[in-house]
Chain A
Amino acid sequence: MPDKNTDKTTVTAEQSGGAAAAVKRAVNRSDMSRAAWTWKEMKRNKVAYALIAPFMILFFIFTVIPVVLSLILSFTTFNMLEWPNFVFMDNYIRLFLDDDIFVIAVKNTLIFAAITGPTSYLMSFVMAWFINELTPKVRAFVTLIFYAPSISGAVYLIWATMFSGDAYGYVNGILIYLGIISTPIQFFRNETFVMPLCIVVALWTSLGTAFLSFIAGLQTVDHTLYEAGAVDGVRNRWQELWFITLPSMKPQLLFGAVMAITGSFGFGGIVTALAGFPSVNYSAWTIMHHLEDYGGQRFEVGYASAIATLLFLIMIGANLLVNKLLSKVGQ
């Protein structure tokens, strides 16, 4: 513990917060430079650094440095064996001008994300809103039914059984029995069906964290607001939703958007499991698959790093853009 005096000062600063804190700091800092003050504060809070250090060190090693390292390697020809050569933008130029499959991958990824992201977001919200009026026991049960597919691991492979390409597949069997088709459709080997089916399965597993966050958010909306709204002329549940509920749960809406967008770029594993690697004529080939192909199988690490960097920028960009749009809602 540092000496009593400084400690007391910051105690009041922390408690009162905001403007008061700023004033206290300013007084405290008047006789020293910003760097000196920061250093003093850092020494005073040694214990805080001790508490965050284990997590932050690992977080840097396994998350921050890899992203930065990918960016650096994306300008080289690294292949895990030879010393990397600096080639500047060559990898990126090759990606967009010489790699037809990458262009397909970008197109598929964007289609996939543009459909699954907003749809799963809306589904999560609408379902959470629907079940909000149920009694707590029923609500808990319905929550479980909706949430279960997202936590049950490889259970989505049941869709491969249902849409299996022979007459024993449930869907083919029924269609043949009803006389709609005469030979079984190879659903996951057919360019027309593979993307839509993967999207449906992805959506099936997508009522996850955002969904739970919305359920909780709806429960915490201040009920006196609804009563006040009723007095002020809110006439039905739609007006209530628009004027009271949505503005009250904006933090959850923002968090849910992050979860939905990040999720919408993370369905590569489902596609691989259902459609194979590679999918027929690259019809469901995404940037994740391209990355796995070059990084994990061909060991063209420099090239793969360029793919990883682009994917990183797309994901962060989509998130920041959507968060900016959502924060405008209700202003």
Chain B
Amino acid sequence: MAKLRTRKHRVVLNRSVGGDVGISVMLIIMGAFMFLPMLYVILQSLKPFDELFVYPPRFYVVRPTLQNFSDLFTLMSDSWVPFSRYIFNTVLISVLGTLGNLILSSMCAYALSKINFPGRGWMFEMIIKSLMFNTTVSAITNFITMSLLGWIDTYLAIIVPAWCSTLGLFLMKQFMDSSVSDSVLESARLDGASEFYTFLHIAMPMVKPAWLTLIVYSFQGLWNSGASIYIYSEQLKTFNYAISQIISGGVARAGASAASTVLMMIVPITVFVITQSNIIETMSTSGLKD
């Protein structure tokens, strides 16, 4: 494989020992900066009450316990809206939002990548431009749109805008450009396959890494979505919002808030671990041409 050849050729190139050492040291420093806070959350969540408040503060945990996690459920069972409702909301929003984005984006990506129709140039140009600003800009005017549609304080206000998030579409279109050969599609078309059939049965199976990436991106974004300006009702709010309420409870809830943060981050991290190689494969075609 190419990777082995790389290593062999590094030897040929006579890498300096100083460079290797320097890079290793930098990697360790950066790794510590990135990893220690994550480790600290996990350790905090395992500390019994007395260890959370020792002086001077201790980084590690002496007697690890799952007490904080069970406290979290007790704490939440007292709340007005049951804890399970927040989780249900987050799962519902994440699943429906991701599903819609996947279907709409892949159809659109296929047409933009594989059909030469008038307007596709400027349409794709607009998609690229949309990557250059974030949704803060449109939040206020979207509020007006949502009121006109009557979607304020409904799931729709969160789910439907997620369907037209552009990063997934962009990545999928770029991946299709390079992974789905035009000649395969052409022969299918000449055999009389409809455009929709070639899309669903020929192009889609060839871009599995891209749709996994889109699912992961969309899911992560929705899973981590917190309070929204479109939602007032407590029973429509998300898991992330509930957690932020626990955390704002202050020092007394240090253990419970660390435990809830750990619960919250397990899902996206697990998803990434499973799909990492597919995401990296998709990213290899993510480039912008100048």
Which stretch of B8-16, B61-69, B71-79 is in the interface?
B8-16
Pairwise interchain contact B33-A55, C-beta atoms closer than 8 A:
no
For chain A, give the interface size range. Answer: 35 or more
| A54-B107, A146-B34 known; A212 vs B144 contact (CB < 8 Å) | no
Q: How far is the CA of A15 from the CA of B14 in the complex (A)?
A: 45
**B140 vs chain A, min Cβ distance (A):** 4
Q: Which of A58, A154, A259 contacts B264 (CB 8 A)?
A: A154
**With a CB–CB cut-off of 8 A, which chain A residues contact B26?**
126, 130
Give the chain B neighbours of A168 by CB distance below 8 A. 52-53, 55, 57, 251, 254
Residue of B nearest to A175 (CB): B56
- Residue from the set B56, B127, B140 with the largest chain A CB neighbour count within 10 Å: B140
Known contacts A55-B107, A146-B30; is A153 also within 8 Å of B290 by CB? no
Measured CB to CB, the closest approach of chain B to A257, in angstroms, equals 8
**Distance (whole angstroms) from the CB of A325 to the closest CB of chain B:** 11
A22 near B: Cβ within 8 Å? no
Instruction: List the A side residues contacting B190 at CB < 8 Å.
Output: 11
Using A154-B264, A255-B287, A296-B229 as known contacts, say yes or no to A170 and B40 having CB atoms under 8 A apart.
yes
The residues of B that contact A56 with a CB separation of less than 8 Å are: 108, 123
Q: How far is B257's CA from A262's CA once the two chains are assembled, in angstroms? A: 30
Tell me whether A177 and B56 are in contact in the complex, defined as CB-CB below 8 angstroms, given that A55-B105, A223-B5, A237-B15 are known contacts. Answer: yes
Q: Give residues 246-273 of A contacting B (CB, 8 Å).
A: 249-255, 258-259, 261-262, 265-266, 268, 273
User: In the complex, what residue of chain B is closest to A291 when comparing beta carbons?
Assistant: B136
A63 within 8 A of B: yes
Q: Does B132 contact A (CB under 8 A)?
A: yes
A69 interfacial by beta-carbon distance below 8 Å: yes
Known A51-B107, A168-B57; judge A152-B37 contact (CB<8 A).
Answer: no
- Whether A149 lies near B34 (C-beta < 8 A) is yes
B283 — which chain A residues lie within 8 A by C-beta? 209, 212-213, 215-217, 252
Main secondary structure of the interface of A (DSSP, over half): helix
Whether A173 lies near B287 (C-beta < 8 A) is no
Report if A88 contacts B (CB, 8 A): no
CA distance A218 to B226 in the complex (A): 35
Contact of A227 among B9, B55, B281, B286 (CB under 8 A): B9
Instruction: Give A267 to B55 CA distance when docked, in angstroms.
Output: 33
What residues on B are CB-neighbors of A146 within 8 Å? 30-31, 34
- In chain B, what residue has the closest Cβ to A286? B136
Is the C-beta of A85 less than 8 angstroms from some C-beta in chain B? no
Q: Are B108 and A47 in contact (CB under 8 A)?
A: no
Contacts of B180 in A (CB 8 A): none
- Inter-subunit contact B264/A155 (CB<8 Å): yes
Determine whether the beta carbon of B240 is less than 8 Å from that of A176: no
Chain B residues lying within 8 Å of A119, measured Cβ to Cβ, are: none
CB of B169 closer than 8 Å to a CB of A: yes
Q: How far is the CA of A166 from the CA of B252 in the complex (A)?
A: 13
Assess whether A148 is interfacial by the CB under 8 Å rule: yes
The interface bits of chain B over 30-49 (1 if a CB of A lies within 8 angstroms of the residue's CB, else 0) are: 11011101101100100000
16 A-B residue contacts at CB 8 Å? A10-B116, A11-B189, A38-B118, A45-B116, A140-B277, A144-B272, A149-B37, A152-B268, A161-B40, A209-B167, A212-B283, A216-B280, A251-B290, A258-B128, A315-B134, A316-B132
A63-B130, A204-B34 are known contacts; what are 19 more A-B pairs with Cβ within 8 Å? Answer: A10-B116, A51-B195, A63-B164, A66-B137, A67-B137, A147-B272, A148-B34, A152-B265, A153-B240, A154-B244, A168-B52, A168-B53, A174-B57, A216-B280, A226-B6, A258-B132, A315-B137, A316-B129, A319-B132
Interface residues of B (CB under 8 A from A): 2-3, 5-7, 9-10, 12-16, 19, 23, 26-27, 30-31, 33-35, 37-38, 40-41, 44, 52-53, 55-57, 59, 104-105, 107-108, 110-112, 115-120, 123, 126-134, 136-145, 160-161, 163-164, 166-167, 169, 182-183, 186, 189-190, 194-196, 199, 220, 223-224, 226, 229, 240, 243-244, 247, 251, 254, 257-258, 261, 264-265, 268-269, 272-273, 276-277, 279-284, 286-290
The 5 closest A-B pairs by CB, nearest first: A251-B287, A66-B138, A152-B265, A216-B283, A327-B290
